[in-house]
Each structure stands twice: as structure tokens, then as C-alpha cells.
Structure 1
Amino acid sequence: MTHFTLRQLRYFVAVVEEDSIVEAARQLHISQPSISVAIKNLEETFNQRLFIRHHAQGVSLTASGRRLYERARELLRLSYELEQNARAENDLVSGTVAIGCFESAAPLYMPKLVAGFKQNYPEITIQLYDGEQHELMHGLHRGRFDLAFLYDLELGDSINKERLNAPHKPYALLPAAHPLARKKAVTLKELSREPMILLDVVPSRNYFIDIFKEKGYCPTVAYSSPSIEMVRCMVGQGLGFSVLVTRPSTDMTYDGKRLAQVNIHDEMPASMLIMAYLRNNEPTKATQLFMDYCRTVDLSPGILAHAEPA
């Protein structure tokens, strides 16, 4: 009787998700013939054709391949959870947690969270990835991430989400010498008269524009960038204002210009930083421990200390 292996299933799933044997081999750091042999063995084991090969255009799934893909993903997920939880049952907790974080928030929060967590659980490996919102959601659904840190904007109901103790109300970012920077708070109306430097990543882009539109204002976007530090530097050079949620602990830009973070007087929808995982995926023990740690941390600007016990 012919048997299949988890490794063969892992190779098969990689080919499906990369739409190419070549790309799957590159991602897995193995040879293309190894993947081809694994798929051939699977097809012989199940007596089904799993892929349609397209010359120079990759591969596509057959109907049988699609059904096997869904079951293979679930089996690989269960095997991963079994391995992680079995390791966590040791006296010395170990395991791996793969975490995706929204790219503008990642530098401010993740290194400090990981450093604090590793002091308590040095044997648990943390793998970090940063990206845009859609990349994080895609990674959760594809099993790439155990946990994602992202903003509670334009998300579906396929995830469990928990709010973090982090800033959630937008503020105005201005050059330190700007007249509005002297005020304790500014209005959206005042800001709308100035050129805007837009953080151009989804969903932040739509969120920051919409808070003006909902009040009947239409700011002129002079420049935009997906990099929060590029936005800060443009503001520092006096090219306009910006609106952000993430609050770096310094008022200096990369190129040495001073900035002012000014509260916005208007009421507006909050932008909550959350940690999330798939509803149908029970977190591993190592993931649960990381989540527990994050619940104890205050992510306010300039502070990353344990909250006092209730």
C-alpha cells in the first residue's frame, strides 16, 4: 500500500499557493525535481490528477486537486498545532509563533513586545513579518501567520480580534515652527486649508481622507508615501501636514527636523490596533502565551511597561 507524507502535502500546498513549481521550490529552498516527484507520488497515491500543467505559465488545480488542497491545508494546520502544543507541554515552554504586523505600527511596537516576551520565554521562537492590511489578512487565511497585529478597519468577520492598549485617535503632525503647532488642539477645518502629506497604505489612506470628507472638507494631497518616516520627513521639511495614528516616541525626523504632534478637536471614528487570529484556528500554546503578554503591556507613546494588576 502506498502512503503519503506531510512533506508531500506541504510541497503540494506550496505549489498551489505560488501557482508555480518554480516559485514553490524557491520559497521552500529545495529543488524543483523534489517537488515534482512529491506531486507525482501524491497523484499515484490518490489515483487522481491534481494539476494541469501549462507550458511556461505555471500550473492550475483540477477539481480533485482543489478538494485535496482544502483537506491538505487543514491536515497541515492540525499537525502544526499538535507539534507546537506538544512542545509547550514540556517544563521549558518552546515553539514558534509567526506574527504579521501592519507596516507603520511594526517598528514602534513589535521589537519591544518581542524583547519583553523573550525575557519570560526564551525558548519560544518569534517570526516577524510586516506588510499592508490585505497582506496580513491573506497571510492569516493561508496559514502563514498565527497572529496578526493590524487596524480594525475594513475587516470581515472571519477573525477573532482583541483591542490592544495603544493610541487609537488620529492626531495632526506639523512642522514644529508651524503656527498651528503652538495650539493645544486643531480642527479639521484648519488643517484642510493646508497641503496634506498622506500616508498612502490601505486602509489608512481611505480612513484619513474620509475623516475630512465626513465633515465636508476636502484637503489637497500635495504628496503621498507608503512610508511613515517619509511622511514625517516631508512634514518636517515644511511641505504640509499629515494625520497619523501611530505615535513615534521622538519628535525628530530621520533628517533632523523637529515635529509637533497636535491633538485634533473634532470627533471622529477611532482606529483601533488589534491582535487577530482566524476564528476556526485555535491558537497554539505558544501563541496564547504571546497574546497573554501583550494584554499586560501599555503601548502608549513613550511607554512600554506592564500595566498594574487589577
Structure 2
Amino acid sequence: MKLQQLRYVLEVFRHGNHISNAAEALHTSQPGISKHLQQLEEELGFEVFARKRNRIVGLTEPGEEVVAIAQRVLNDIDSLKRLGEELSSREGGSLTIATTHTQARYVLPQVIERFIRQHPKVQLHLRQGNPTQICEMVEAGVADLAVGTETTRAFPTLVRMDCFELERSIITKVGHPLLKIRKPTLRDVAAYPIITHDPAFSGRWKVIDAFKRAGITPNIIFGAVDADVSKTYVELGLGIAVMTSVSIDRQKDKGLRAIDASHLFEPSMTSISLRINAYLRNHTFDFIRMFAPHLTRDAVRAALQEAR
């Protein structure tokens, strides 16, 4: 059994059971992956993938266990490599953060600026995606940690540590009728076309759920991919937007106004997600503490230990 075979299993699974997509992502050939998967299944004595007319359609029951084990094994290998990096280079190394647009644009800049000043020899990388995608990056070992809100599915191989809540505001153009209402109700808000996040973000379903519980059907015209896109369409007068309050910049968004909506919509919890068995270098602990001061080294270690 080879580590490469385990990597192929995980990549095929992550790419929706499409060998061609996995081969493209790994810069290798489709026949090569198929051959390695067949060799692995022959050695194990059972099929990892269920097939229909020689086409992979999903995992077999034991195949689900293989994926879970393969993920743990490869994560452990990654931790060993990081331990070696820690011993050979105390000050250098790298840190890859997977995060959402809102975090990268409005929450992280000051933290990253401080981190770079304290760790000038560490190569810092940012990868963006929706909350589920960024956790998938950490799960796959593409990123060291994820900074984002709630995901659309569970990640049993990750530990999620809550940092702080993000309240919501209603964003309008200057002079909008809603600005004359001291404390808008859901019915007041539903009277106007609403721009909210893409369904992959928790913000959208938190907004939808609030209206649903009140028995109100809002006019949601579309889901934008990020806060900046939403604000652009608000400025065009196409509707109002419901987004995290941190997304409004009073200095730059001079044509917009924010109305507190914390009484209408639930906040989103910003969290840091790590692989349960990850080896964390000193600078990773430092970044986490800078982002969320209550997540000390001892607190992070305790969370990882409890999840194992």
C-alpha cells in the first residue's frame, strides 16, 4: 500500500467521484489513477468505490471507512513534515489561511498586518471560498486553518473554535424610506427587494429563517457572492441588502447607510477550524491568539485534545 494510492482515493472522492477531475487537479493521468485504485482494492480485498458500468458512482460502505482513515493518515504525515519544519526553522515557514470574502476584506487585515510585523520570515498565504469550501481546504491539507462562519455540512475531522459573533445590518442608499423608521420590523424590510448572500453562506439562510418564522415571504431578488457585490447593486438602487455590520465602511461607502438589524436576524458566529490531529507551529498559535485573544495556546490544545 502506498501513500499515493490514499491520496488518489481522497481526490476522487472530493471531486464528486470523477477520476478525470481528480487527475486534472493532481496533474496526472486518468488511467494512472484508475490503475492505482484497482491495485489498492486488490490489496485490501474489497471495493472502495461502487461502480456502475465501469463508472464510479460513490463509495462502498467499507470505502467510507477507507476515506476517513486515509484522511487521518495523510494529516499525520503532514504533521510530521511540519514538525520537521519547526525544528529546522524556528522563525520561518509558512501559514495558509482559508477564509471568506467578508473575513478577508473586513476582519483580517489588521490581524494580518500585526502578524507579519511579528513574523516577517513566515510566508503567509490566503485562499478564499465560501464557509464550506474553506473547511474542505483545511480537511484536504491545502490550508492550515479556516476562518469563517457556519458551514452547510459537518466536518468530523476538524475542530471548530468559536471566536466572536457578527451582527447584521440593513444596507440602503442614502435617502431610502427605511431610514425614516427608527426600528424597522420584518414587514417593513420585506416591502423592498432584498439582496442577500449566496445560498452557500449561513447569512442567507439566517435571513430566510427569520422571515419564515414570522410567516412573511420576502422578495429576494438574488444572492450575491460577497458583500462588495451586494453593496454595488444597492448603490444602483436595485434593492436593499442584509449583511454583516462589519461589511459597511463609513469612510468608503459614502453613498450607503446601515440600519441595525440585530433585533431581526440572528448573528453569525465566526470560528477558526483546524484539523484535529494537526501539528501547530508557534506562529500558528500566535495568529490564532491575535485573531481571538481568548484562544490561548492552552485553550487550543485543550480543544484539539477533546476532539480526538
Confirm or deny that 1:295 pairs with 2:295. no
In structure 2, what is the equivalent of residue 306 of structure 1? none
The one-letter code of the counterpart of 1:10 is R
User: Could you give the per-residue CA deviations for residues 16-49 of structure 1, whole angstroms, max 9, x where no partner exists?
Assistant: 4332332222111233454355445545655666
**TM-score, with normalisation over the residues of structure 2?**
0.74
Q: Secondary structure at the match of 1:164?
A: strand
Conserved in 2, the CA contact under 8 Å of 1:52 and 1:60? yes
Confirm or deny that 1:25 pairs with 2:9. no
Q: Which moved more, 1:77-86 or 1:284-293?
A: 284-293
Q: Distance in 2 between matches of 1:180 and 1:273?
A: 28
Q: Distance in 1 between matches of 2:32 and 2:106?
A: 41
User: Could you give the per-residue CA deviations for residues 258-282 of structure 1, whole angstroms, max 9, x where no partner exists?
Assistant: 111122373653222222235x334
**TM-score, with normalisation over the residues of structure 1?**
0.73
In structure 1, what is the equivalent of residue 68 of structure 2? 70
Please, which runs of 5 or more residues in structure 1 have no aligned partner? Answer: 298-310
Q: Secondary structure at the match of 1:247?
A: helix
The one-letter code of the counterpart of 2:106 is L
Please, which runs of 5 or more residues in structure 2 have no aligned partner? Answer: 295-308
Q: Distance in 2 between matches of 1:223 and 1:50?
A: 40
Q: For the structure 1 residues 97 and 45, does the alpha-carbon distance in structure 2 shift closer, same or farther, using more than 3 Å as the test?
A: farther
Aligned with residue 271 of structure 1, among 254, 268, 273: 268
In structure 1, what is the equivalent of residue 105 of structure 2? 107
In structure 2, what is the equivalent of residue 243 of structure 1? 242
Q: Distance in 1 between matches of 2:42 and 2:278?
A: 33
Conserved in 2, the CA contact under 8 Å of 1:184 and 1:263? no
The one-letter code of the counterpart of 2:148 is L
Q: Distance in 2 between matches of 1:20 and 1:265?
A: 43
User: Could you give the per-residue CA deviations for residues 77-117 of structure 1, whole angstroms, max 9, x where no partner exists?
Assistant: 11101111221234533444443323443332345544442
Q: Distance in 2 between matches of 1:68 and 1:266?
A: 46
Q: Secondary structure at the match of 1:284?
A: coil
The runs of at least 4 consecutive aligned structure 1 residues that moved more than 6 Å come to none
Aligned with residue 6 of structure 2, among 9, 14, 19: 9
Q: Secondary structure at the match of 2:166?
A: coil
Q: Which moved more, 1:209-218 or 1:78-87?
A: 209-218
Q: Distance in 2 between matches of 1:37 and 1:229?
A: 46
Q: Distance in 1 between matches of 2:100 and 2:37?
A: 35
Q: Which moved more, 1:75-84 or 1:239-248?
A: 239-248
Question: Which one has a larger percent helix, Structure 1 or Structure 2?
Answer: 2
Q: For the structure 1 residues 50 and 56, does the alpha-carbon distance in structure 2 shift closer, same or farther, using more than 3 Å as the test?
A: closer
In structure 2, what is the equivalent of residue 308 of structure 1? none
Conserved in 2, the CA contact under 8 Å of 1:196 and 1:222? yes
Conserved in 1, the CA contact under 8 Å of 2:195 and 2:221? yes
In structure 2, what is the equivalent of residue 193 of structure 1? 191
Q: Distance in 2 between matches of 1:147 and 1:34?
A: 31
The one-letter code of the counterpart of 1:260 is R
Q: For the structure 1 residues 47 and 272, does the alpha-carbon distance in structure 2 shift closer, same or farther, using more than 3 Å as the test?
A: closer
In structure 2, what is the equivalent of residue 284 of structure 1? 280
Cα RMSD of the aligned pairs, angstroms, is 3.7
Conserved in 2, the CA contact under 8 Å of 1:187 and 1:265? no
The one-letter code of the counterpart of 1:284 is L
Conserved in 2, the CA contact under 8 Å of 1:52 and 1:59? yes
Conserved in 2, the CA contact under 8 Å of 1:101 and 1:136? yes
Q: Distance in 2 between matches of 1:64 and 1:265?
A: 46
Q: 1:171 Cα deviation (Å)?
A: 1.1
Q: Which moved more, 1:44-53 or 1:186-195?
A: 44-53
